[in-house]
Every structure is written in C-alpha cells, then in structure tokens.
Chains A and B, each alone.
Chain A
C-alpha cells in the first residue's frame, strides 16, 4: 500500500450557468490527510466527484500519483487508485446485498473485517435498503476500506460520519487517521478535522486553507 500525491490545478466545474467549483488549486502530499470543510453547497462534493470522473471539469486538471485521467482506461485506473465513500449513499433502485457491496471494493476479506470493526458484521445477507442510515454508512465505509486493502492509494470520504452516533464519529476518525494512504475527507465534525493534518475550506466554489 503506497500513498499517492493528489493535485488539483485550476479546477472549475459548472452545472449549466452555475459555477459550483471555481478555479480550485490544491496539492495533497502522498500520505497526507486533509479535511475539507465549508458551507452547504460550496462545491466539496462536486470537486471530489470531478476527481473520480463522475462529473466533468470545465477547465483545470486533477492528477493522482502524477497521472492525469483522460481515456476510459485512465479513469478506470483512477477509480482503482481512489477509494470512495459517496455522500449520497445509493438508495438502491434495485436490491443489492450488503455482502455484494462489500465485495465490490476488491478485497472481500478486508471489507468484511472492516465491517466487523465498524460493528456491522452479520448483516451480509441483508439487502442494503433494509439497513438503517448509520448502518448503511458504515457498510459503505467498510467497502472503501476494502478498496484500500485491495490497493487503492487514496481515499475520498464525503461526510462519512454524517449519519453516525458520537461513538461512531470518533471511531471512524480514528480509523481514517490510522490509514497509510492519502485521505481527503469532507466533514463538518471537529473530531475529524482534529484527526487530519490540515484543513481546507471551500466557500462558494473557491478554496482557502485554514
């Protein structure tokens, strides 16, 4: 498991005429843990989704481990390199079992061990839509930890503790802090910011360091 440096340079994303991310420059060193904060609607989720190729950038570039992504193969590699905890956990248009989601991270054994650590062992044969909000979030986290064990060199976690109880927030902050890979975590919770090396704040699409 090696960590990858991540650079955002001049990244701009638009939804129609609305600019959601506005010329963001950010260098994250290999192995560094950065907390991304900022008001609702300031562009945090859009920025991370752009780095995964889930939303197009209008201008600018994003590299992971020095590599840009343009072709389909490069994006596929990017998505192997970066484990992801989405903010909007898929409600599931169609049934999927917890185990099927855990396995999709690429390392079923590690994902199930992570699920046990996160107190959601034994839910494996349940469909995701039958879980509580907090359980669902823990399962998505466990999946991402499985992806890290499978070789991802960075983790993007978008408000991974939003649905968790206090104990869970501390638990996850400690778990992420111990990860040897580069971490960008969107969070409004102070335990998480404290556990990170650095805090970056977004406001109206622009980034500033605090």
Chain B
C-alpha cells in the first residue's frame, strides 16, 4: 500500500491519471458515435491513415504528427458522401484501411524512411503522457462535448434514421461530416496519446456497455461516461497495485464491465436508466384524459 501511495506522488503517474480521467469523460462519447454510425473498424482505418499522413510528413519535412491528424480529418470527411448507402460507412472503413496502408508503404519506400520509425511515432503510452498531451486530450474532450450537447436532438435523429432526420429539418450532410471528422481526428489523436489498445478500452467498450443500458442517445452517452470513468479508475488503480502496465489491465477491466452489462435482462432497463424521466417537459394531455 505504501508503494502504491509512493507511486501516486510521481509526476508521470499523476499526469497519466489526469489523462485517463479526461479521456474517460470525452472518448466514450466518440465511442457512442462510432457505434451509432456502425464504424467499429474506424480505429484500424485511422491507424493506417495516420501512418500514411506521418509518412507523407516525413517525406515533405512537415511535422509528421500534424500530417497524421490532417490525414485522419481528410479521410473522415472523404467517406461522408458514402453515408447515404446502408453499407457505405462500414465498408468505407475497410477500404480506407487497405488503401492507406498500401499508400503509406509506397510513400515510405519512396522517401527511404524506415517503417518502424514511422510506426513508433504513431504509438503512445499513457505512462508517457506529457503536458501537451493533456492539453490536446482536454481540447478534444471539449470539442466532443460541445458537438454532442449542442446538437444532441439532431444527432439522435440522424443516428436513428437519416431520412427522418432530413425530413425534420436536420442538416444531415454537414452534421454527418462534422461527426466523421471529429471521430476520425479523435481516434487518430488518441492512438498517439494512449496507444492503440487503450483507445478501444476508452471508446468502444464503454459505448458497447452503454448500448445495453441506455434507452436514448442522451442516456447512452451518460452511461458511457459513467462506465468509462469507473473502468479507468478501477483499471488504473489495479494496474498500479499489481505493478503491471496499465493498458492491458484497463482493457480487461473495461471489458469485464461491458460484459456485465449483457447480464441485465432487456426489460430491466427502465429501472436503471439515468436519462429516464416519465414526464419530459409537460404532457399537454391531463392524466384523467389518458386512455
């Protein structure tokens, strides 16, 4: 226990704890978007797209990470027009991944940069979090929250059904574009900041659990954040106590939490939903007249 408290006084450990907490508040929302858009493969796609960007950056001598994120943003925007087909987005992720890796290998071979060096730039570790990483994570979290809370009604309709959204005056095209760019950049940046393994634990896993618990977009987002914060806190503490790398421990903890949500029977959701309010904003029909 003393060892544990000693660890907590280390600046690196403190920074990674703060980083995980910020990530737990922001990234689960990205995960909910990912599940809503049915693009779980986005992480693999963005990994390779970022690598392509890094390779191009190394070739032309511009900051490789910046190029990596730019490549993610462009790729996210690029797949938006495919969204009107039912399989457009999920298919596009696979396509992106193979295209990007092929292009990246070509660029690396042309530039003569060795591939391992480029890959290393892409990889992060939560224990190596720097102050600038915390700022980037914080900024990402703010952007994701603003996007969600400002447009949550429109997003709920869009993720439910694109045509109903269109017929409800939602600017489906621009909103989808914003969503895809934010998701792509957030995933790209998180891989750099936390490592690829942790990205899943921070995004997809809480969102999958929330899908089982929440009954609306809003309640899913709240559940996802709750699961994210719980999983990260427990995982981080356990990793420190056992003196093991946080990545795998966090994934196992988050995975276990997610698995537990599958044990809840469907009908039981009503009782545990934090977003559940029977009387939302004044029912115009007096109770006595209800059938």
* A interface residues with partner B (beta carbon < 8 Å): 52-54, 72, 76, 79-80, 84, 86, 90, 92-97, 99-101, 103-106, 108-109, 112-113, 116, 119, 121-122, 124-128
Comparing B62-70, B110-118, B281-289, the segment that makes contact with chain A is B281-289
Q: How far is the CB of B59 from chain A (nearest CB, A)?
A: 38
* B interface residues with partner A (beta carbon < 8 Å): 35-36, 38, 153, 156-157, 159-161, 163-169, 171, 173, 214-217, 220, 276-278, 280-281, 283-285, 289-291
Q: How far is the CB of A122 from chain B (nearest CB, A)?
A: 5
- 3 smallest CB-CB distances across A and B, nearest first, come from A90-B161, A104-B168, A96-B160
Known A-B contacts A94-B217, A95-B220; A106 and B280 likewise in contact (beta carbons under 8 Å): no
What chain B residues lie within 8 Å of A86 (beta carbons)? Answer: 163-164
Q: How far is the CB of A58 from chain B (nearest CB, A)?
A: 18
Closest to A78 in B: B167
Are A93 and B160 closer than 8 Å at their CB atoms?
A: yes
Are B157 and A100 closer than 8 Å at their CB atoms?
A: yes
Are B216 and A84 closer than 8 Å at their CB atoms?
A: no
A117, B165: Cα distance in complex, Å: 25
Are B280 and A124 closer than 8 Å at their CB atoms?
A: yes
A119, B290: Cα distance in complex, Å: 8
Are B290 and A84 closer than 8 Å at their CB atoms?
A: no
| 6 A-B pairs with C-beta separation under 8 A | A79-B167, A84-B167, A92-B160, A93-B36, A104-B153, A125-B278
A72, B170: Cα distance in complex, Å: 12
Known A-B contacts A104-B157, A121-B285, A125-B278; A97 and B216 likewise in contact (beta carbons under 8 Å): yes
A94, B164: Cα distance in complex, Å: 13
Which listed residue, B160, B216, B276, B291, touches A90 by the CB 8 Å rule?
A: B160
Which listed residue, A53, A93, A100, touches B216 by the CB 8 Å rule?
A: A100
A6, B208: Cα distance in complex, Å: 46
Q: How far is the CB of A131 from chain B (nearest CB, A)?
A: 12
Known A-B contacts A80-B169, A106-B168, A121-B291; A94 and B36 likewise in contact (beta carbons under 8 Å): yes
Are B283 and A97 closer than 8 Å at their CB atoms?
A: no
